[in-house]
């Protein structure tokens, strides 16, 4: 029998209801259900609560119940362990989610029968070199992006960029986004970055409101190493997939590369990225 983790949006009643029904359905089929303590408390299934280490141990599949934000949380939890992820769309845009709520149980049946595919998405490795102590973590994984941006309204931040150990240029901007192809339709898109097919492999370096003539996105080889160092007296806030992890002071830096791990998203039919774009943006054929 399978071990299934349910990752639940804590502020969405529809996600809670579906989690309860799915946990019951899985248990009736003889499968093991695991939830993190915070999710188990919200759902009311405290007896299924496990810590993060136990959650991923010999885990068969993780089911994300929410929107794209819940998918990002699920990827952070299980991607380094190679666990496949089924995304259930209980949000709005649903770029990352594959399954409608009404089809979850039938989709799980297909998964257990081996009738599915895996779409691998490149992840970004974000290593932190912060002597100031403003960021506690040493490394993080991102499915969408890492962002360094200003903390003070009305002021830019100065960020020095090195590519493969060689100085490139300093940026005076509201921030810099280092995105994966999946992240090209997230924050980088709002900063006028390019749309990149999500199964492509590359890094996109996009400035946010730069105060300089060079304002273009750099699309870099996936083997590229990008180091961004905070210069000047103004600090920069670091966020990874939308989660603020701390503040970097002058001399602090991050180093971004393609991760050796990938997000393994379960698909049950061919996904046409161009058709998804058309649907999300309401594009017409003529």
Domain of 229, CATH number, reads 2.60.200.30
Instruction: Examine the domain organization and report whether 50 and 168 are in the same domain.
Output: no
CA dist., res. 205 & res. 165, Å (int): 16
Higher pLDDT: 276 or 75? It is 75
On whether residue 208 sits in a domain, the answer given is yes
Instruction: Give the model's pLDDT for residue 93.
Output: 61
pLDDT digits (tens, 9 = 90+) for 204-215: 999 999 999 899
Share of the chain above pLDDT 70, in %: 99
Tell me: pLDDT of 56 over 90.
yes
Higher pLDDT: 179 or 277? It is 179
CA dist., res. 257 & res. 141, Å (int): 10
On whether residue 286 sits in a domain, the answer given is no
On whether residue 277 sits in a domain, the answer given is yes
On whether residue 205 sits in a domain, the answer given is yes
Tell me: pLDDT of 201 over 90.
yes
Instruction: Give the model's pLDDT for residue 187.
Output: 95
- Dihedral sign computed on CA atoms, order 253, 239, 100, 85: positive
> What is the domain-level CATH number for residue 111?
3.40.50.10330
pLDDT digits (tens, 9 = 90+) for 12-47: 999 999 999 999 999 999 999 999 999 999 999 999
pLDDT digits (tens, 9 = 90+) for 107-123: 999 999 999 999 999 99
Residues of the domain holding 160: 123-260
Instruction: Examine the domain organization and report whether 128 and 255 are in the same domain.
Output: yes
Instruction: Examine the domain organization and report whether 254 and 128 are in the same domain.
Output: yes
Is position 160 annotated as part of the catalytic site?
no
- The C-alpha torsion from 108 through 109 and 111 to 116, rounded to 10°, is -110
If we measure between CA atoms, which residue out of 267, 244, 260, 283 comes closest to residue 96? Answer: 267
The pLDDT confidence band at residue 152, using thresholds 50, 70 and 90, is confident
Residues 6 or more apart whose Cβ sits within 8 Å of residue 16:
8, 42, 43
Instruction: Give the model's pLDDT for residue 275.
Output: 79
Tell me: pLDDT of 76 over 80.
yes
Out of 39, 68, 241, 252, pick the active-site residue: 68
Q: Is 142 helix (H, G, I), strand (E, B) or coil?
A: strand
pLDDT digits (tens, 9 = 90+) for 216-267: 999 999 999 999 999 988 999 999 999 999 999 999 999 999 999 999 999 9
The answer to whether 62 touches 75, Cβ cutoff 8 Å, is no
pTM of the model: 0.91
Tokens of 132: 């100031």
């Amino acid at each position: 029998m399978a071990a299934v983790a349910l990752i639940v949006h804590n502020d969405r009643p529809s996600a809670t209801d579906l989690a309860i029904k799915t946990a019951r359905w899985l248990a009736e089929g003889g499968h093991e259900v695991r939830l993190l303590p915070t999710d188990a408390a919200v759902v009311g299934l405290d007896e299924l609560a496990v810590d993060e280490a136990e959650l991923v141990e010999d885990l068969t599949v993780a089911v994300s119940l929410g929107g794209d934000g819940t998918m990002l949380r699920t990827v952070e939890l299980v991607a380094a362990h190679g666990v496949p992820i089924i995304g259930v769309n209980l949000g709005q845009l649903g770029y990352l989610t594959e399954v409608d709520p009404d089809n979850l149980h039938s989709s799980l049946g297909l998964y257990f029968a081996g009738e599915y595919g895996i779409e691998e998405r490149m992840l970004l490795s974000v290593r932190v070199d912060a002597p100031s102590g403003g960021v506690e973590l040493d490394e993080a994984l991102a499915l969408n992006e890492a962002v360094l941006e200003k903390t003070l309204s009305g002021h830019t931040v100065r960020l020095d960029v090195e590519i493969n150990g060689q100085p490139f240029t300093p940026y005076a901007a509201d921030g810099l986004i280092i995105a994966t192809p999946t992240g090209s339709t997230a924050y980088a898109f709002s900063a006028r970055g390019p749309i990149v097919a999500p199964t492509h492999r590359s890094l996109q370096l996009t400035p946010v409101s730069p105060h300089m003539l060079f304002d273009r996105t750099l699309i870099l080889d996936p083997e590229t190493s990008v180091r961004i160092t905070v210069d000047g007296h103004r600090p920069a806030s670091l966020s990874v997939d939308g989660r603020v992890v701390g503040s970097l002071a002058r001399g602090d830096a991050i180093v971004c590369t393609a991760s050796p791990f990938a997000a393994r998203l379960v698909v049950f039919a061919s996904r046409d990225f161009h058709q998804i774009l058309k649907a999300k943006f309401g594009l017409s054929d003529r």
